[in-house]
Structure 1
């Protein structure tokens, strides 16, 4: 038994250190080699804590040698120390010094070390007060190093990884080994190589055992494939604390153009979940209360800061979710009839843009403030499919043909089944997928795509509102993120800030909408004439007459444009054009944003 225990200890030592120390006893029964080996191991094991002492010893030794051999080198050493300090201060982030304070500290250490070495080389270490300066200054510069959080975390992680061979043996992954490790803001991640015959699926099944072996909290371990997609590699992500435990306030818009990727929220490694929406349709899915509406708010908040995009929206919950953004939304549909009209006009826009591009030999529509992109946001898409099933043809056309002409569709729904998505090609055209928490495992594949659950996209494990998984061409690895939270005050502030920069549709698109509506009216002219005849002379009033009657009878605070649109049954561009014509003639005035009335003299 004793022999077996000794062999097991030797095997563990070989796995951990790569060799078995030789034990030699002298005649007195002492173990000098064992003591030397233990000292050597201690110096290596605590190399991070002892680094300032190692540096001071190296400087003292090098300075003494250079003083007796090349004392004339001191100017070059001073210049080298200064140059190294500037390099670290300016480009230290490329050497792993992510924070400005870390780069400044490294620059101070380099400058101090270079200056002291130059002085010792010229004057000798016995020159007063060089030796006390090394001790005192070294101690002062060592304190930040000893208490630095990331250094302490890295030491702890390295010691955990030193024990990985034993952990792998215990959990059934014997033969796997660590290749590299990096400590970040909220934890650490490491790249591992698997033994022959092991796959990442084996590792995913061992996640609870890995959490137990590393002593983490439940749910702290993530397992991802490596970016090179090698079957015998995987990346282990371990959190010290859950960075998404609490809601994260929205910091404000991350873009100023639709051509830039939008920041939806931070990943667990503190990087931003940025995704480009230009020429891409998007799908947001998840159960009720999972954070879809919050994700929509983040998108709209960023889009309102872009003067090269016009926002249309459909909210069949009577505008309950998107009404706060109405001042920045060019067109908001809250009823099935309005939704059908909006989508029909969107098809007319993309067809007119396609014809305009073809006539000029251009392949894509490049968004500008004069020629803005069009983004259509649909909250609870399933409601649209139920209440306006005849609109499925238009959404399908937008999804298939909107890419080149910068007409983008963003849809949010709980379960994007084929029935809920209108039985068309809409879901298959969604290139950006955002999955919030789902209740059933099969819903992961419905939102993110077939087979995503089997390769690690476990949206059913998201445990708080706002947490999501992002699948896009630039995001092909399952990484958890949390959407920013926009409170009502933030929405109101954003609307007030961006309302004056919101663009209107270009002349090509506006003309297409008016022609499409004129065509519909012409197509139903006979039915309208019969209806007007039955309703009497009052119903025969033209839209212009109705508009003028409403403006003439408007109160001092004016009448909202939305009321004018509803009363005249005309489009927003039509109403605004008539208002501009009347305003140029001095017959009407704008009381405040979105409110108009006739001038006092003209109404009399």
Structure 2
């Protein structure tokens, strides 16, 4: 037979192949049908579910008709779970959860009725014949289902795509469609790394037909070197500003929500016993990020906030009601940081005496968080401040004295001796102008690892690097309007704590221990808490203004807010002074939040 076929080919003829009707043809048809069913499995899913219900109903009615009650209970429980916690299985939208719950309850209810009564009872056959297409319509027109079909067809062509972009041999392991686009896990060929995939991002965007900036490449959760996760956005979830929903914490022991990631999950970061660095060029949304932090810190009843703003308070002044001390000049900043070092040492000594290792923040013993806007200007205009901040960065964690520094470009010169930047556990990078600035803010080697902060294309977008965030995922900070800032500061000012007794005593006793020259300089600052001596009226500074306002108050008293505005001091400072005057019999509280001088 083979020799005959070879002779026919030499003579230019094609040998005839006879297919046995009982052999390959039925197998080939079965393969074609199976492939078609698999390819269009999403479209025929509702019909397949209805057919499975009919088969199950016939079997259950014949063998276990009394199971109908259990089936109904399971259906109700399943529908309730899908409606309440369906987001945990990918049903992120409320309408999706409602649809899934409706289908589960309808299918379970019909199966329970058919199990008890039989498939041919009454209107049960008509119900499934009419209900199947009716309930299938939302499924057939649903955007995410259609997107899933498109993704599956795209990934079916991955061998050609991988060859075109230079990742030949990589393979698709899994894929998921979500609200904003889709993500897939890939296995790399031997010798390929995730850095190779990151370098191919522009080529991947071209091959997949997406818009520029739509593709992300991340390590997988198991951190395997021969795998990566591809994230593709169909729409930009951060295209518009996102209004701040309000504080996410009431204590610094809780993670703070800075804004949503691209998959709608919150960018939560823990600040307790960590220093933070915020970087980005002018107009990148850095100030907005500080507002989010301030809004959350002001809601924490175990945090005292000090701040330095060398723009004469232009950025942080709206938060003044919640700030205990606000330094607006280089001299104020040096004194503030010097006092923070004194508090640090006093707390460390107290912990050593009590045998404890860390300062646990409470309302009576709060953490001290120092927010510094434009740290580079501080280092340039007040050289002494860098040595104090360096000491806080190295020794402040255990005693809950922490720094949050914001700057446009944290160079070695701007960050002083370098210990400040190296001690920053939390890094937040808004848009930068130059690629090398990525490593300055986020750390050496982060640019090559895929942290491309120079590609962030809207104010408020940022990358977050922290112990719990070690992959480059884009997020966008919440937006706080001026009205929101004002209302939030006023709402939280009544709950602000005061410094603990250990810290207050250390500051009050510091002038004598530092010598007369330094003590005199400290007593002259407007942001220092000095104590009236022997009940005598102070002669200058905010205390003089406070006493004058109390003396001129009516019988109803002067509100605390007016006293704060008149003295330019924070709420804790005003209350601390009022309590001292009250103990000396010089001030009286006439009503809640109102004070006047004693008659």
Report the TM-score when normalising by structure 2: 0.86
The residue aligned with 1:436 is 430
The answer to whether the 8 A contact 1:560-1:596 is kept is no
- How many angstroms does 1:438 deviate by? 0.8
- Alpha-carbon distance change, 241 to 95 in structure 1, aligned in 2, over 3 angstroms: closer
**Aligned partners of 1:445 and 1:451 also within 8 Å:** yes
Structure 1 distance, partners of 2:518, 2:110, is 92
For 1:275, which of 265, 269, 277 is the aligned residue? 269
Provide the C-alpha distance between the structure 2 equivalents of 1:248 and 1:502, rounded to a whole number of angstroms: 27
- Conservation of the 8 A alpha-carbon contact between 1:81 and 1:113: no
CA distance, structure 2, for counterparts of residue 115 and residue 245 of structure 1: 43
Structure 1 residues 352 and 166, CA, compared in 2 at 3 Å: closer, same or farther?
same
2:254 alignment partner in structure 1 = 260
Greater mean alpha carbon deviation, residues 156-165 or residues 145-154: 145-154
Q: 1:565 to 1:44 in 2, by over 3 A?
A: closer
TM-aligned CA distance change 1:552 to 1:119, over 3 Å: closer
- Structure 2 matches for 1:116-195, cutoff 5 A? 116-195=110-189
Cα distance change of structure 1 residues 595 and 126 upon mapping to structure 2, 3 Å threshold: closer
CA distance in 2, matches of 1:456, 1:592: 59
Task: Return closer, same or farther for 1:388/1:572 CA change in 2, 3 Å cut-off.
Answer: farther
Mapping 1:90-129, distance limit 5 Å: 90=81, 92-99=86-93, 101-129=95-123
Aligned to 1:248: 242
In the TM superposition, what are the counterparts of 1:343-422 in structure 2 within 5 Å? Answer: 343-422=337-416
Helix, strand or coil: the match of 2:475? strand
Which one of 216, 227, 231 corresponds to residue 225 of structure 2?
A: 231
Q: Render the CA deviation track for 1:183-206: whole Å, top value 9, x for unaligned.
A: 222111111001112222222222
Q: Secondary structure at the match of 1:358?
A: helix
Aligned equivalent of 1:74, options 65, 70, 78: 65
Moved more, 97-106 or 249-258: 97-106
For this pair of structures, how many residues does the alignment match?
557
Following superposition, the deviation at residue 32 of structure 1 comes to: 6.5
1:568-591: CA deviation from partner (whole Å, max 9, x where unpaired): xxx998875554343455544679
Evaluate the alpha carbon distance shift between residue 369 and residue 124 of structure 1 in structure 2; reply closer, same or farther with a 3 A threshold.
Answer: same
1:108/1:511 Cα in 2 relative to 1: closer, same or farther (>3 Å)? same
204-213 vs 107-116, which moves further: 107-116
Which residue is 1:535 aligned to?
A: none
**Any gaps of 5 or more consecutive residues in structure 2?**
1-16, 523-535
In the TM superposition, what whole-angstrom CA distance separates every residue of 1:329-384 from its partner, at most 9, and x where no partner exists? 11110011111111011011111111111111111111111111110000000111
Matches of 1:281 and 1:245 in 2, distance apart? 30
- Give the structure 2 partner of residue 500 of structure 1: 494
Per the alignment, do residues 76 and 556 of structure 1 end up closer, same or farther by CA in structure 2, a change over 3 Å counting?
A: same
- Structure 1 residue 98: deviation in Å? 4.4
Give the distance between the partners of 1:299 and 1:382, measured in 2 at CA: 20
Shifted more, 95-104 versus 41-50: the winner is 95-104
Quick check: 1:380–1:413 contact (8 Å CA) kept in 2? Answer: yes
1:469-508 deviations in Å (ceiling 9; x for gaps): 1000000001011111111011011012111101111111
Q: Deviations over 1:539-580 (max 9, x none)?
A: xxx8724478656654659784576589xxxx9988755543
Report what 2:579 is aligned to: 580
Among 296, 303, 316, the residue aligned to 2:310: 316
Aligned-partner Cα distance in 2 for 1:563–1:130 = 78
Q: Cα gap change, 1:577/1:419 in structure 2, threshold over 3 Å: closer, same or farther?
A: same
Question: Within 2, Cα distance between the matches of 1:551 and 1:372?
Answer: 26
How many Å apart are 1:92 and its aligned residue?
4.8
Do structure 1's residue 203 and structure 2's residue 194 form an aligned pair?
no
SS of residue paired to 2:174: strand
Quote how far apart the aligned CAs of 1:24 are. 8.5
Deviates more, 1:145-154 or 1:578-587: 578-587
CA contact (8 A) 1:82 1:110 kept: no
Q: Give unpaired runs (5+ residues) of structure 1.
A: 1-22, 529-541
Equivalent residue number for residue 451 of structure 1: 445
| Range 462-471 or range 178-187, more displaced | 178-187
Cα distance change, pair 133–577 in 1 and its aligned pair in 2 (3 A): closer
1:214-229 aligned at under 5 Å gives the runs: 214-229=208-223
3-state SS of paired residue (2:176): strand
Q: Residues 34, 498 of structure 1: CA spacing in aligned structure 2 closer, same or farther, 3 A cutoff?
A: same
Does the aligned pair in 2 maintain the 1:380–1:414 contact within 8 Å?
yes
Instruction: Quote how far apart the aligned CAs of 1:525 are.
Output: 7.8
For the residue of structure 2 that corresponds to 1:135, the secondary structure is helix
Partner in structure 1 of residue 417 of structure 2: 423
Over 3 Å counting, the alpha-carbon distance change for 1:543 and 1:516 in structure 2 is farther
Q: Is the 8 A contact 2:218 2:471 kept in 1?
A: yes
Query: Counterpart of 2:278?
Result: 284
